[in-house]
Structure 1
Amino acid sequence: MAAADPSDGHAPGASVAAACRDAGLVRLVATSDGDALAATGVLARALSAAGIPFQASVRSFPGDALGDGTDADVTVTVGATGGDVALDAHPASPAAYAAARELVPDAADPTLALAGVLAARAAPGDDPTTLAEDATAAGCEQRPGVGVPTADLVDGLAHTTFVYTPDSGDTEAYRTALAERDLPTERTADIDDDAGRRLASLLAFDAVRSGEAPPRAADAVERALRPHAGARCPFATVEGYAGVLDAVARRAPGTGVALALGHDAREAALDAWREHASAAHRAVRAADTSRYDGCVAVVTRTGPVETVARLVRDFRSPEPAVLVVGDGEAAAAGDAVDVGAALRTTAATANGTSHARGETAYARLDTSDPAGLIDAFREGLA
């Protein structure tokens, strides 16, 4: 069949819907991040409602899957270029939501799409679609509190990856902190706005109290405060949903796809979220860090490099760019810095490949020489 022209780079929802509408089989291949996973789920649910068969998967590099043998009539890449059509805008969820509305309006899930936008650290009102309005109509309204996925606030505060604090990963520390402030440990229907505001103040203070946090930390922690709650959300808050999607996209992609498709994967997803968060917080705490003019470099052998890069940038780095070098991989995060280009240069020196999403980038590398990678990244920033 004739597919929509992907040459414009950001295929609008109508073009994606047109490409999929008459397909006998659609293949969806997403990058391994929460926004792309959410966008895939939004589109997949609409395809299912329309009676269009599909396959869905998550890959660090979706291009790796394009050469695989498949019977699909249309391949949609989500979060990257390639395929017959590409939803490669950042965030991708609004365009996926528009495509879903074109296919089957009633099947378009604004709560999942909003979670994707939040996973991309974007503002819900910045897209030109009806997503923000539809999410509000679906009951997604902000309220005082913290954006965690669990009703257990100790669990949520200790494992959120929206924020890094000196107590991140330590449930007993947060249990003590809540008790000392006479704050609830469970989110219940009768929790009042005052308690929600005091919870938010606790997390905001924790994010900056160590004295190591850069000025941008105050803005970064805002994304975890005054969360959206929604009747159709499978987690306590939509921000919490976003955090879980991002974690499972990276740590347990099969579980992530099941969650995004609406299957009963909540508990498995929460387990993966906790494991991902614990690994990230340990890696930030134990990071072997070097500071240079314009960037901070971190070497880790255990942490999820993309999450570590973002947390170090937001809550630890005095410089605008962060490079995290892991075992055969690297990630970068920037604050008004083109880390995508710098990491692409770095990957080229190590027989690797990379892709960028917003202000972050990821690379697969063929080297065990962190010093050489750091030098290449610094040259790429220059």
Structure 2
Amino acid sequence: MATERRSAEPSSAPVASALESAGFAHIVARADGDALATSGLLARALTDRGTPFQVSVGRTVADRTARVRDREPATDDVTIGVGAIDADVTRLDDADRPATLAALDVVREIGSTPDPVLALAGLVAADVEPGAGESEWILETARERGLVERRPGVGIPTGDPVDGIAHSTRLRAPWSGDPDATRDALEGLGADLDEPADFDGDDHRAIASAVALDVVGDDEAAAAAAETIQRALRPYATPDHAFATVGGYADVLEATARTEPGTGAALAMGHGVHEPALAAWREDGRRAHAALEGASTGRYDGLFVVGIDDGPVETVARIAATYRSPEPVVLAVGDGEAAIATRGDDHLGATVEAVARELGADDSDSNGAQEGVEYDSSRRRGYLRYDTARDESTIIAAVRERL
């Protein structure tokens, strides 16, 4: 890889300084929920300042690099990268900290007030529990303003529990992806599923208990499922927001970042695209759960491989890593693309880049991509896109050698 052109280690201070003097800002973001929330936080702050901007979302390093190089910036233009880019830009994210936290620092440094609910959703998308560590102040801010409240139940984006639970990618049960089967599973709990506005704490609690039991009791559930499902329960509800819970908002950000990035960017910026975003989220969840249902699997030392014919590989890898895999790392392989996910703390960046190097040519092209291979990575996930002639066993062997 052409790492010598990779932008410098990120820091919030240079980003804040650059934005304060910018005549125009180009935000180029990685395609995940954390980066999408980051772009939204920055875009809203720029709107407050009256600074024109553009948000671009790129699925791979090469995609983002091309977006930077295709522009001819003016002298007072600033490009902010959220995710690796093989070009001279100011980076905001780093390997050990969610980009959302860095964005919060920048927004405050330039004198704007961040949206706490968007920030919390970005943190959840980055696998950070709201209120943990550096995020304590943003959770307290949201609570003081009455924007969030903790309650029993499941963290879904919709008020309709059947719709929300069936399509959620934050859990996996035998009925996931099938609204009719989900309704059957929730019937008889004493809650009127058609009147969710009338739910009390007992109704939410009964649904959460039934969901948890089905998740953990699934014959295909991994031991990690019992711990993972806890993160989807007792959500932070958002009574005045378009999405019902912080966790549900995060799920929508994740889905739109990869399947409808234009819609996702508009959503993060605060535009009224909630219905198109929900439609994209439903489709992503339906396809991911259907793909898992028909997937082939293979187990190796430290690696669980999921082979799918069709479906969103990154969503499949994430669900499998947290609910299906007996190993800490999952490789989901589809048609011309693959995704790696881990439930551990190891950063996958070096692994994914090394795999891309092996699968590609010795030299990278002018956009920083290997011949026929593009890649991306974040703290716990990686993505590979390659020509369809590559054999699945070659992909598996390349990943196994680097774990």
Alignment correspondent of 2:80: 76
Distance (whole Å) between structure 1 residues aligned to residue 123 and residue 194 of structure 2: 26
2:109 matches 1:91: no
Given the two structures, how large is their TM-score scaled by the length of structure 1? 0.92
Number of residue pairs matched by the alignment: 373
SS in 2 for 1:296: strand
Distance (whole Å) between structure 2 residues aligned to residue 56 and residue 342 of structure 1: 28
Q: Conserved in 1, the CA contact under 8 Å of 2:155 and 2:248?
A: yes
SS in 2 for 1:297: strand
1:108-130 Cα deviation digits (max 9, x unpaired): 11110111001112122234363
Distance (whole Å) between structure 1 residues aligned to residue 57 and residue 127 of structure 2: 20
Name stretches of at least 5 consecutive residues in structure 2 with no aligned partner.
1-6, 361-372
1:27-75 Cα deviation digits (max 9, x unpaired): 0011111111011001101101110110001111223322112336111
More off after superposition, 180-189 vs 41-50: 180-189
Choose from 356, 360, 363 the match for 1:347: 356
Distance (whole Å) between structure 1 residues aligned to residue 395 and residue 354 of structure 2: 10
Alignment correspondent of 2:331: 323
2:31 matches 1:32: yes
Distance (whole Å) between structure 1 residues aligned to residue 185 and residue 359 of structure 2: 46
Given the two structures, how large is their TM-score scaled by the length of structure 2? 0.88
Q: Name the amino acid aligned to 1:350.
A: L
2:57 matches 1:58: yes
Alignment correspondent of 2:366: none
SS in 1 for 2:359: coil
**Segments ≥4 residues shifted beyond 6 Å:** none
SS in 2 for 1:125: coil
Alignment correspondent of 1:3: none
Alignment correspondent of 2:315: 307
Q: Conserved in 1, the CA contact under 8 Å of 2:348 and 2:379?
A: no
2:103 matches 1:100: no
Q: Conserved in 2, the CA contact under 8 Å of 1:97 and 1:109?
A: no
Alignment correspondent of 2:43: 44
What does 1:167-316 correspond to in 2, within 5 Å? 167-186=175-194, 188-316=196-324
Q: Name the amino acid aligned to 1:68.
A: D
1:203-249 Cα deviation digits (max 9, x unpaired): 11121212221221111111211111224532111111111111011
The alpha carbon displacement at 1:339 in A equals: 4.1
Distance (whole Å) between structure 1 residues aligned to residue 347 and residue 284 of structure 2: 26
Q: Name the amino acid aligned to 1:67.
A: R
Alignment correspondent of 1:10: 10
Alignment correspondent of 1:362: 383
Q: Conserved in 1, the CA contact under 8 Å of 2:28 and 2:56?
A: yes
The alpha carbon displacement at 1:105 in A equals: 2.7
Q: Conserved in 2, the CA contact under 8 Å of 1:327 and 1:368?
A: no
Name stretches of at least 5 consecutive residues in structure 1 with no aligned partner.
1-5
Distance (whole Å) between structure 2 residues aligned to residue 161 and residue 252 of structure 1: 16
Alignment correspondent of 2:157: 149
Alignment correspondent of 1:134: 141
Distance (whole Å) between structure 2 residues aligned to residue 114 and residue 374 of structure 1: 35
Alignment correspondent of 1:67: 69
2:144 matches 1:121: no
Q: Conserved in 1, the CA contact under 8 Å of 2:154 and 2:208?
A: yes
Distance (whole Å) between structure 1 residues aligned to residue 180 and residue 392 of structure 2: 35
Q: Name the amino acid aligned to 1:349.
A: E
The alpha carbon displacement at 1:189 in A equals: 4.4
1:27/1:41 CA distance change after superposition, 3 Å = same
The alpha carbon displacement at 1:102 in A equals: 2.3
